[in-house]
């Protein structure tokens, strides 16, 4: 609870106690003062006591209303409450009636406002706790001692030390040490991740076990933690259509009800006097108009709708899903088409040897020749061959390396000529390869001009991906599509194994944009299309789709910049989780809009015809607001999807 909230709570309690004391004293108690004082002193003392209570509980509302009038922004909830309560007090003075209703309206309004501020504060604290990744310092070693410095002062290439229990302050590469990392604040995943020398590490993780020495690769302002915090802090600035509607609605609605209340106070008495020859009963109609004003206060709408989206963004953060604004949350809830990039999104982007077919040579020898021949290349295929070999590469054994672009490599290994590459390379050296029926990238090998066998290399599909696609379909996604630059045979096998509805293969980056544009034209007007990419080379497509989702790109600058939604780990189930969160949030928003408008319309009619009094007005305003706020907070809590 903030200092301001504590002060407001003291004011509420003080006003409540004094009001209860005054109510325990009957009007006759004050009238008895007339026997000792002159005129109607008891009545005025009673009024003065109630005005003290009113001042304690409502002085800031009066100040805000006067400030709004001074700045030309007259019609807001402060103006409505000020006019209604001051008018009700004046009417009570004129008729020598009860002051309780007028002061109770202000008291309950302030209780509702305090509750709303507390709820918003709780939502902010929940997000702050979930995203508690901002580092307070970085450890730099100087003169054999660790000094704590501001992370902003640490330059690129500096070596920092992160001890057990400390947050990693800046992105970098581990140069010494091994440890387990807690990434739950970033990914929502409670399981620790192992980190070893040579691994990249991003800021925001918590070092759990060993001491790590990290060489920084970014400045603090460009590191993952800074970008994520900036993203979350600015999310509320991007408003949804529902929020824009409520803002425009309030600007029209508030003046309209003020003029309607004025008409209710003046027109019926005038009609009664001049056209019906009946008493005007001004007090009755002014009271109805004041009740009308209290009922009409749009607090439930103006407060609960933004709070619902804010809570939805907080709930998504807890699940490791960063949403850049409530407008994207709204679009995500309307998504019916999900388009996936393949490499790095559906697959891990890590190629591995999963098949070795040989003639007379042993498997181990075939892999050894292939790995050594490809040892000078940095291509992912070459790296996968070297990993499969599993031993230290002795480059001195390799000579006369010829890399034939688009075909493969010819080199001498221990004086033996080794050719490793595709069908084109075999044709180039006049060797007939044997066809492979296994799907993947095929590396043919020829030793001294004689065919020796082939190695199958393929990308690994991410775990639980089939379940994730099924979860999307259960969530109401009508069509799933895969785009890839891979060969048709490879692409179709992956799509079939994952039960993806449609696949487009052998695409260049520009072709992916064209395909997304075609799909955008095919879908329904109200349906939205989401593109899921790795955020590194898919920026054009992420920007072109209705909503771009960067998947499996934790720490990627391109993901954070290009995507509208960032999934902070490789878990494919997070896509369905993000859609579930958005739909729950929008459901809450529509519930609050329907209940708030419905209750107010009914109470406004009852107030206009004299059935509703100030107490019902308090429920229509404060009661509905509290119910809407409680409903909005539900968006913070999202059940984890089961596989």
DSSP 641: P
Same domain, 409 and 535: no
CATH number at residue 185: 2.70.150.10
Nearest residue to 545 (alpha-carbon basis) of 559, 564, 526, 558: 564
Under 8 Å between Cβ of 39 and 155: no
Given 536, 560, 585, the domain boundary residue is 585
Which of 99-108, 115-124, 303-312 bottoms out in mean pLDDT, i.e. has the lowest? Answer: 115-124
Query: Is the per-residue pLDDT at 97 higher than 50?
Result: yes
The answer to the question of residue 527 being in a domain is yes
pLDDT in the model for residue 642? 41
User: Among 11-20, 33-42, 392-401, whose mean pLDDT is lowest?
Assistant: 33-42
466: domain CATH number is 3.40.50.1000
> Are 554 and 473 within one domain?
yes
Determine which of 197-201, 235-239, 305-309 has the lowest per-residue pLDDT on average.
235-239
* Measured distance CA(100)–CA(613) in Å, rounded: 13
Q: What is the residue-averaged pLDDT of the chain?
A: 80
Could you tell me if residue 341 is inside a domain? yes
pLDDT tens per residue, range 399-433: 988 888 778 889 999 899 999 988 888 988 888 88
Q: pLDDT at residue 214 above 90?
A: yes
Distance of alpha carbon 428 from alpha carbon 444, whole angstroms: 12
What percentage of the chain reaches a pLDDT higher than 90? Answer: 8
Residue 529 and residue 432 share a domain: no
| 378 part of a folded domain | yes
The percent of residues in the chain predicted with pLDDT above 70, rounded, is 83
Higher-pLDDT residue of 183, 478: 478
pLDDT tens string 539-559: 778 878 889 888 765 545 655
Q: Is the pLDDT of residue 611 over 70?
A: yes
Confidence label for 336 from pLDDT (cuts 50, 70 and 90): very high
Residues 151 and 177 in one domain: yes
Tokens of 253: 């609605």
Supply 148's token pair: 């704590």
For every residue of 553-621, DSSP letters joined together read -TT-HHHHHH-SEEESSS-THHHHHHHHHHHHHHHHHHHHHHHHHHHHHHHHHHHHTT---HHHHHIII
**404 in the same domain as 337:** no
Same domain, 395 and 325: no
Residues 6+ apart with CB under 8 A from 395: 375, 376
Mean pLDDT of 319-335: 84
Domain boundary at 419, 439, 460, which? 460
In a domain, 617, yes or no: no
Decide if pLDDT at 238 tops 70.
no
- Cα distance between residue 259 and residue 139, in whole Å: 64
CB-based contact 614:104 (threshold 8 Å): yes
Q: What is the CATH number of the domain that holds 389?
A: 3.40.1110.10
In a domain, 623, yes or no: no
| Residue 449 shares a structural domain with residue 475 | no
Structure tokens that stand for 264 in this block: 């209710």
Q: Find where tokens 């001491």 sit.
A: 211
Higher pLDDT, 373 or 244: 373
Question: Known catalytic residues?
Answer: 341
- What pLDDT digit, counting tens, does each position of 273-310 carry? 888 888 888 888 888 888 887 777 776 677 777 778 87
- DSSP assignment of 431-485 equals --PPP--S-SEEEEEEETTEEEEEEEEEEEEPTTHHHHHHHHHHTT--EEEEE-S
Is residue 416 included in any domain, yes or no? yes
**What are 48's two structure tokens?**
């003065």
CA angle 158, 161, 167 (to 5 degrees): 110
Backbone angles phi, psi at 538, to 5 degrees: -110, 15
Number of structural domains found in the chain: 3
490 and 512 within one domain = yes
Q: Does 507 share its domain with 403?
A: no
Helices (H) and strands (E) in the chain, counts: 22, 22
Would you state the structure tokens that stand for residue 125, as one six-digit string? 């604290």
CA dihedral sign, ordered 344, 348, 353, 354: negative
The DSSP symbol for 72 reads T
3 state SS of 133: coil
- Same domain assignment for residues 367 and 327: no
Question: At what angle are helices 241-274 and 77-95 packed, to 10 degrees?
Answer: 30
> So what's the pLDDT on residue 117?
73
Radius of gyration from C-alpha coordinates of the chain: 35
Considering the domain boundaries, does residue 13 fall inside one?
no
The set of residues, in sequence order, having a beta carbon less than 8 Å from that of 530 and lying 6+ positions away, is 332, 335, 337, 338, 339, 545, 546, 547, 548, 549
Torsion sign over Cα 38, 39, 43, 49: negative
Q: Where are the alpha helices (DSSP H) in 25-150?
A: 27-31, 41-70, 77-95, 100-130
Last residue of a domain, one of 426, 460, 494: 460
Residue 555 counted as domain residue = yes
Q: How confident is the model at residue 643 (pLDDT cuts 50, 70, 90)?
A: very low
Among left, alpha and beta (phi > 0; psi -120 to 50; other), residue 275 is alpha
Q: What is the pLDDT of residues 345-401, one digit of tens each?
A: 787 766 788 788 877 788 888 899 999 988 887 677 788 888 888 888 888 898 988
* pLDDT at residue 459 greater than cutoff 80: no
pLDDT digits (tens, 9 = 90+) for 491-539: 888 888 889 999 998 777 678 888 888 888 888 778 899 998 875 567 7
pLDDT in tens, 307-320: 788 788 877 877 87
Q: Are residue 528 and residue 573 in the same domain, yes or no? A: yes
**Residue 213 clears pLDDT 80, i.e. is over it:** yes
Q: What is the pTM of this model?
A: 0.65
342 and 468, same domain (yes or no): yes
- Full residue range of the structural domain in which residue 495 is found: 320-346+462-585
């Amino acid at each position: 609870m903030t200092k301001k909230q504590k002060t407001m709570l003291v004011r509420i309690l003080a006003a409540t106690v004094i009001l209860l004391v005054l109510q325990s004293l009957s009007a006759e108690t004050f009238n008895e003062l007339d026997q000792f004082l002159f005129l109607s002193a008891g009545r005025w003392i009673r009024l003065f006591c109630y005005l003290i209570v009113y001042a304690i509980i409502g002085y800031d509302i009066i100040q805000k209303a006067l400030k709004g009038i001074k700045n030309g922004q007259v019609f807001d909830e402060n103006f409505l409450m000020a006019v209604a309560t001051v008018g009700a007090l004046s009417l009570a003075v004129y008729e020598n009636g009860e002051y309780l209703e007028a002061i109770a309206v202000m008291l309950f309004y302030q209780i509702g406002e305090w509750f709303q501020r507390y709820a918003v504060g709780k939502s902010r604290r929940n997000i702050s706790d979930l995203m508690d990744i901002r580092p307070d310092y970085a450890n730099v070693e100087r003169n054999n001692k660790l000094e704590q410095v501001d992370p902003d002062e640490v330059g690129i290439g500096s070596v920092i030390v992160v001890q057990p229990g400390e947050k990693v302050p800046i992105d970098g590469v581990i140069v010494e040490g091994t440890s387990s990392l807690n990434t739950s604040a970033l990914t929502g995943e409670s399981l620790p991740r192992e980190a070893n020398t040579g691994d990249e590490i991003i800021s925001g993780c918590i070092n759990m076990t060993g001491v790590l020495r990290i060489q920084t690769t970014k400045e603090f302002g460009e590191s993952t933690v800074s970008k994520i915090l900036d993203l979350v802090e600015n999310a509320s600035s991007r408003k949804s259509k529902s929020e824009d509607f409520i803002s425009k609605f309030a600007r029209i609605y508030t003046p309209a009800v003020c003029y309607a209340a004025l008409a209710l106070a003046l027109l019926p008495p005038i009609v009664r006097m001049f056209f019906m020859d009946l008493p005007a009963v001004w007090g009755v109609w002014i009271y109805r108009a004041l009740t009308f004003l209290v009922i009409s206060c749009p607090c439930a709408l103006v407060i609960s709708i933004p709070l619902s989206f804010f809570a939805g963004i907080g709930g998504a953060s807890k699940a490791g899903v960063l949403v850049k604004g409530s407008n994207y949350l709204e679009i995500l809830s309307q998504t019916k088409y999900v388009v996936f990039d393949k490499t790095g999104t559906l697959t891990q982007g890590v190629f591995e040897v999963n098949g070795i077919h040989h003639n007379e040579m042993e498997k181990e020898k075939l892999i050894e020749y292939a790995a050594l021949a490809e040892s000078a290349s940095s291509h992912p295929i070459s790296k996968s061959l070297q990993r499969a070999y599993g031993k230290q590469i002795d480059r001195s054994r390799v000579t006369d390396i010829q890399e034939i672009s688009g075909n493969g490599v010819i080199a001498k290994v221990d004086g033996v000529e080794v050719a490793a590459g595709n069908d084109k390379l075999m044709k180039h050296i006049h060797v007939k390869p044997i066809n492979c029926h296994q799907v993947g990238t095929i590396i043919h090998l020829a030793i001294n001009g004689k065919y020796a066998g082939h190695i199958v290399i393929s990308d690994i599909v991410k775990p639980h991906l089939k379940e994730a696609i099924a979860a999307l379909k259960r969530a109401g996604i009508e069509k799933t599509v895969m785009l890839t630059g891979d060969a048709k045979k490879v692409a179709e096998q992956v799509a079939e194994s994952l039960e993806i509805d449609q696949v487009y293969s052998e695409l260049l980056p520009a072709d992916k944009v064209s395909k997304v544009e075609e799909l955008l034209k095919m879908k329904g007007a109200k349906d939205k299309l989401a593109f899921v990419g790795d955020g590194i080379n898919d920026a054009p497509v992420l920007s072109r789709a209705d909503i771009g989702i960067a998947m499996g790109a934790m720490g990627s600058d391109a993901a954070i910049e290009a995507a509208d939604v960032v999934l902070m780990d490789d878990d494919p189930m997070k896509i369905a989780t993000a859609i579930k969160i958005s739909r729950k949030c929008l459901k809450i928003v529509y519930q609050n809009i329907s209940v708030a408008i419905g209750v107010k319309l009914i109470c406004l009619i009852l107030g206009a015809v004299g059935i509703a009094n100030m107490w019902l007005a308090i429920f229509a305003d404060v009661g509905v607001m509290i119910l809407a706020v409680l409903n909005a907070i539900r968006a913070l809590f999202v059940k984890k999807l089961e596989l």
